[in-house]
Amino acid sequence: MARPGLTPRAERPLQQRLERAAALAGLGELSAAASALTSAPLAPGDEDTRRQLQDPARRPREPYGPLSIPDPPPGLGRFRLKRSLFLGNVRGARRGAAAGPSGASAEHLRIMLDDELCSGLLYGAARELAAASVPDDILEGMRLGRMVALRKPDGRVRGLVMSDVFRRIVARTIA
């Protein structure tokens, strides 16, 4: 079922799409502005979309194979999170993007960069998350995602999961 107040992109009036693109361009997010005008429309929140997203023929229930993470080079920890790179990724995170499941957006994290103590605390939390040395209930929250369904040109549906912005920035820094 479609949530009240949400209209698939393809059905939004052109003026509304133009306003969104102009707002993103004003933030300096030119790629996002172009995407607001040209990206795939959201699929309707109906039973057919749900069926396509749950189709077992297209969504294997078991992994294709085991996940293996290579050992780090000798002398290095598994994930070293460089402070300057992490804080740079927070500073450069996309503005105007929708918040993840926690409700936090890049703008919320960016505010912490104004204060040295807050920056240090944010970096410390990122290091702990990168090392997976946070409490299980926090990890469970970080694993959450918000799913959206996009309508592909062939009429089928593609599901995308948006995770928490903090987790995405930590992962980007690790990568």
Residue span of the structural domain in which 164 resides: 40-57+78-175
Give dist(CA 78, CA 82) in Å, integer: 13
Residues 32 and 92 in one domain: no
Count of the separate structural domains present in the chain: 2
Kindly state whether residue 71 falls inside one of the protein's structural domains.
no
Kindly state whether residue 134 falls inside one of the protein's structural domains.
yes
Kindly state whether residue 85 falls inside one of the protein's structural domains.
yes
Residues 129 and 115 in one domain: yes
Looking only at the bridges linking them, the beta strands covering 145-151 and 157-163 are: antiparallel
19 or 72: whose pLDDT is higher? 19
Residues 95 and 31 in one domain: no
Contact 21, 96 (CB under 8 A): no
- In this structure, how many other beta carbons lie within 10 angstroms of the beta carbon of residue 11? 10
* Per-residue model confidence as pLDDT tens digits over 73-120: 565 556 678 999 999 999 998 877 777 788 888 989 999 999 999 999
Residues 83 and 34 in one domain: no
What radius of gyration do the chain's Cα atoms show? 19
Kindly state whether residue 88 falls inside one of the protein's structural domains.
yes
Kindly state whether residue 72 falls inside one of the protein's structural domains.
no
Residues 27 and 50 in one domain: no
The mean pLDDT of 1-30, rounded to a whole number, is 67
Residue type, 148: V
